[in-house]
Amino acid sequence: MRCEPVGAGVGRTGVGGADRRQRHEEWMRRALEVAVAGAGSIAAADTPVPAADDIPVGAVLLGPDGAELATGRNERELTGDPTAHAEVLALRRAAGRLGRWRLDGCTLVVTLEPCTMCAGALVLARISTVVFGAWEPKTGAAGSLWDVLRDRRLNHRPEVYGGVLETETAAVLRAFFR
Protein backbone atom coordinates (compact mmCIF):
# COMPACT_ATOMS: atom_id res chain seq x y z
CA MET A 1 0.00 0.00 0.00
CA ARG A 2 1.37 3.40 -0.96
CA CYS A 3 0.54 5.78 1.84
CA GLU A 4 3.43 8.20 1.70
CA PRO A 5 3.07 11.58 0.08
CA VAL A 6 3.51 10.99 -3.63
CA GLY A 7 6.82 12.60 -4.49
CA ALA A 8 6.40 15.27 -1.84
CA GLY A 9 9.65 14.38 -0.18
CA VAL A 10 8.05 13.88 3.22
CA GLY A 11 8.77 10.57 4.88
CA ARG A 12 6.37 8.63 7.02
CA THR A 13 8.86 7.53 9.59
CA GLY A 14 8.39 8.32 13.24
CA VAL A 15 5.38 8.63 15.49
CA GLY A 16 3.90 11.53 13.53
CA GLY A 17 3.81 9.45 10.35
CA ALA A 18 2.00 6.56 12.03
CA ASP A 19 -0.54 8.90 13.63
CA ARG A 20 -1.13 10.60 10.33
CA ARG A 21 -1.64 7.31 8.51
CA GLN A 22 -4.17 6.23 11.10
CA ARG A 23 -6.00 9.54 10.79
CA HIS A 24 -6.04 9.27 7.00
CA GLU A 25 -7.47 5.75 7.21
CA GLU A 26 -10.22 6.90 9.58
CA TRP A 27 -11.18 9.70 7.21
CA MET A 28 -11.07 7.30 4.27
CA ARG A 29 -13.49 4.96 6.03
CA ARG A 30 -15.86 7.89 6.38
CA ALA A 31 -15.44 8.73 2.67
CA LEU A 32 -16.20 5.08 1.82
CA GLU A 33 -19.33 5.30 3.95
CA VAL A 34 -20.41 8.37 1.97
CA ALA A 35 -19.61 6.60 -1.33
CA VAL A 36 -21.88 3.65 -0.64
CA ALA A 37 -24.51 5.29 1.58
CA GLY A 38 -27.91 4.01 0.55
CA ALA A 39 -31.52 4.87 1.30
CA GLY A 40 -32.14 5.71 4.92
CA SER A 41 -28.47 6.07 5.70
CA ILE A 42 -27.51 8.72 8.18
CA ALA A 43 -23.98 8.63 6.84
CA ALA A 44 -24.21 11.73 4.71
CA ALA A 45 -26.73 14.44 5.41
CA ASP A 46 -25.39 16.42 2.45
CA THR A 47 -26.07 13.75 -0.09
CA PRO A 48 -29.43 12.41 -1.23
CA VAL A 49 -30.13 8.77 -2.05
CA PRO A 50 -27.63 7.74 -4.72
CA ALA A 51 -28.73 6.83 -8.23
CA ALA A 52 -28.08 3.16 -8.88
CA ASP A 53 -25.97 3.95 -11.94
CA ASP A 54 -23.73 6.56 -10.30
CA ILE A 55 -20.18 5.31 -9.77
CA PRO A 56 -19.74 5.12 -5.96
CA VAL A 57 -17.13 7.75 -5.19
CA GLY A 58 -17.27 9.59 -1.86
CA ALA A 59 -15.48 12.64 -0.50
CA VAL A 60 -15.18 14.27 2.92
CA LEU A 61 -13.86 17.77 3.52
CA LEU A 62 -12.29 18.50 6.89
CA GLY A 63 -11.48 21.83 8.44
CA PRO A 64 -8.06 22.73 9.87
CA ASP A 65 -9.16 21.26 13.23
CA GLY A 66 -10.13 17.96 11.61
CA ALA A 67 -13.88 18.57 11.98
CA GLU A 68 -16.07 17.46 9.09
CA LEU A 69 -17.28 20.44 7.05
CA ALA A 70 -18.98 18.72 4.13
CA THR A 71 -19.37 15.51 2.20
CA GLY A 72 -19.99 14.78 -1.46
CA ARG A 73 -20.79 11.76 -3.53
CA ASN A 74 -20.62 11.39 -7.29
CA GLU A 75 -24.09 12.48 -8.50
CA ARG A 76 -23.48 12.79 -12.22
CA GLU A 77 -26.32 10.45 -13.21
CA LEU A 78 -28.64 11.57 -10.41
CA THR A 79 -28.43 15.23 -11.37
CA GLY A 80 -27.41 14.99 -15.03
CA ASP A 81 -24.55 17.34 -14.24
CA PRO A 82 -21.15 16.50 -15.79
CA THR A 83 -19.38 18.43 -13.00
CA ALA A 84 -21.19 16.71 -10.11
CA HIS A 85 -18.15 14.78 -8.93
CA ALA A 86 -17.77 14.01 -5.22
CA GLU A 87 -14.86 16.43 -4.75
CA VAL A 88 -16.56 19.38 -6.48
CA LEU A 89 -19.76 18.92 -4.46
CA ALA A 90 -17.82 18.70 -1.19
CA LEU A 91 -15.82 21.83 -2.12
CA ARG A 92 -18.98 23.79 -2.96
CA ARG A 93 -20.71 22.77 0.27
CA ALA A 94 -17.71 23.51 2.47
CA ALA A 95 -17.15 26.89 0.80
CA GLY A 96 -20.84 27.70 1.22
CA ARG A 97 -20.68 26.75 4.86
CA LEU A 98 -17.58 28.84 5.54
CA GLY A 99 -18.76 31.68 3.32
CA ARG A 100 -15.51 31.84 1.36
CA TRP A 101 -13.88 30.16 -1.62
CA ARG A 102 -10.47 29.86 -0.03
CA LEU A 103 -10.16 26.57 1.84
CA ASP A 104 -6.54 26.71 2.94
CA GLY A 105 -5.83 24.58 5.98
CA CYS A 106 -8.54 22.14 4.91
CA THR A 107 -8.17 18.51 3.85
CA LEU A 108 -10.10 16.77 1.10
CA VAL A 109 -10.39 13.00 1.38
CA VAL A 110 -11.76 11.06 -1.61
CA THR A 111 -12.04 7.36 -2.37
CA LEU A 112 -10.67 7.64 -5.93
CA GLU A 113 -7.76 9.58 -7.44
CA PRO A 114 -9.14 12.97 -8.60
CA CYS A 115 -9.65 13.69 -12.30
CA THR A 116 -8.27 16.82 -14.01
CA MET A 117 -11.40 18.87 -13.27
CA CYS A 118 -11.39 18.02 -9.58
CA ALA A 119 -7.63 18.39 -9.21
CA GLY A 120 -7.95 21.84 -10.83
CA ALA A 121 -10.78 22.78 -8.49
CA LEU A 122 -8.78 21.64 -5.45
CA VAL A 123 -5.88 23.85 -6.48
CA LEU A 124 -8.22 26.81 -7.06
CA ALA A 125 -9.73 26.29 -3.61
CA ARG A 126 -6.20 26.33 -2.09
CA ILE A 127 -6.87 23.03 -0.32
CA SER A 128 -3.86 22.20 1.85
CA THR A 129 -3.99 18.41 1.82
CA VAL A 130 -5.50 15.83 -0.52
CA VAL A 131 -5.87 12.21 0.57
CA PHE A 132 -7.16 9.68 -1.93
CA GLY A 133 -7.80 5.93 -2.03
CA ALA A 134 -7.73 3.94 -5.25
CA TRP A 135 -5.47 4.94 -8.12
CA GLU A 136 -7.16 5.71 -11.44
CA PRO A 137 -4.64 4.95 -14.18
CA LYS A 138 -7.01 6.01 -16.99
CA THR A 139 -7.98 9.51 -15.83
CA GLY A 140 -6.13 10.24 -12.58
CA ALA A 141 -4.64 13.72 -12.28
CA ALA A 142 -2.84 13.22 -8.97
CA GLY A 143 0.09 11.19 -10.21
CA SER A 144 -1.32 8.58 -12.62
CA LEU A 145 -1.96 10.25 -15.97
CA TRP A 146 -1.21 13.84 -14.95
CA ASP A 147 -0.06 15.46 -11.75
CA VAL A 148 -2.06 18.66 -11.61
CA LEU A 149 -1.85 18.82 -7.81
CA ARG A 150 1.92 19.09 -7.76
CA ASP A 151 2.62 20.87 -11.00
CA ARG A 152 5.46 23.24 -10.18
CA ARG A 153 4.13 25.78 -12.67
CA LEU A 154 1.11 26.37 -10.45
CA ASN A 155 1.33 28.72 -7.49
CA HIS A 156 -0.43 26.36 -5.10
CA ARG A 157 0.49 22.73 -4.49
CA PRO A 158 -1.34 20.71 -1.85
CA GLU A 159 0.30 17.89 0.03
CA VAL A 160 -0.88 14.61 -1.53
CA TYR A 161 -1.29 11.15 -0.01
CA GLY A 162 -2.42 8.44 -2.40
CA GLY A 163 -3.36 4.78 -2.05
CA VAL A 164 -4.89 5.14 1.45
CA LEU A 165 -7.01 2.00 2.12
CA GLU A 166 -6.28 1.16 -1.49
CA THR A 167 -7.64 -2.40 -1.26
CA GLU A 168 -10.96 -1.36 0.29
CA THR A 169 -11.55 1.66 -1.95
CA ALA A 170 -10.69 -0.30 -5.11
CA ALA A 171 -12.99 -3.15 -4.02
CA VAL A 172 -16.02 -0.83 -3.83
CA LEU A 173 -15.40 0.32 -7.41
CA ARG A 174 -14.73 -3.20 -8.67
CA ALA A 175 -18.00 -4.41 -7.14
CA PHE A 176 -19.86 -1.62 -8.95
CA PHE A 177 -18.39 -2.42 -12.36
CA ARG A 178 -18.83 -6.17 -12.06
What secondary structure letter does DSSP report for 149?
Answer: G
- Which residue from 122, 109, 126 is spatially nearest to 27, judged by alpha carbons? 109
Distance, in Å, from the CA atom of 170 to the CA atom of 74, rounded to the nearest integer, reads 15
Instruction: Show the DSSP H helices in the chain as ranges.
Output: 14-36, 76-79, 86-98, 116-124, 166-177
CB of 80 to Zn ion, least distance (A): 16
Distance, in Å, from the CA atom of 49 to the CA atom of 43, rounded to the nearest integer, reads 11
Q: Which of 69, 84, 106, 115 binds Zn ion (CB under 5 A)?
A: 115
Which CB sits closer to Zn ion, 111 or 129? 111
Distance, in Å, from the CA atom of 157 to the CA atom of 34, rounded to the nearest integer, reads 26
Whether 87 is catalytic: yes
CB of 22 to Zn ion, least distance (A): 27
Q: Which residue is nearest to Zn ion (CB)?
A: 118
CB of 16 to Zn ion, least distance (A): 30
Annotated catalytic residue, options 87, 113, 136, 166: 87
Distance, in Å, from the CA atom of 77 to the CA atom of 14, rounded to the nearest integer, reads 44
Phi, psi of 29 (to 5 degrees): -65, -40
74-113 residues in contact with Zn ion (CB under 5 A) are 85
Q: Which of 84, 118, 165, 172 binds Zn ion (CB under 5 A)?
A: 118
Binders of Zn ion: how many residues, by CB under 5 A?
A: 4
- Which one of the spans 46-54, 116-124, 131-139, 141-149 is the region binding Zn ion (CB under 5 A)? 116-124
Please state the separation of Cα 14 from the chain's center in Å. 25
17-76 residues in contact with Zn ion (CB under 5 A) are none
CB of 118 to Zn ion, least distance (A): 3
Residues of this chain that interact with Zn ion (CB under 5 A) are 85, 115, 117-118
Catalytic site residues?
87
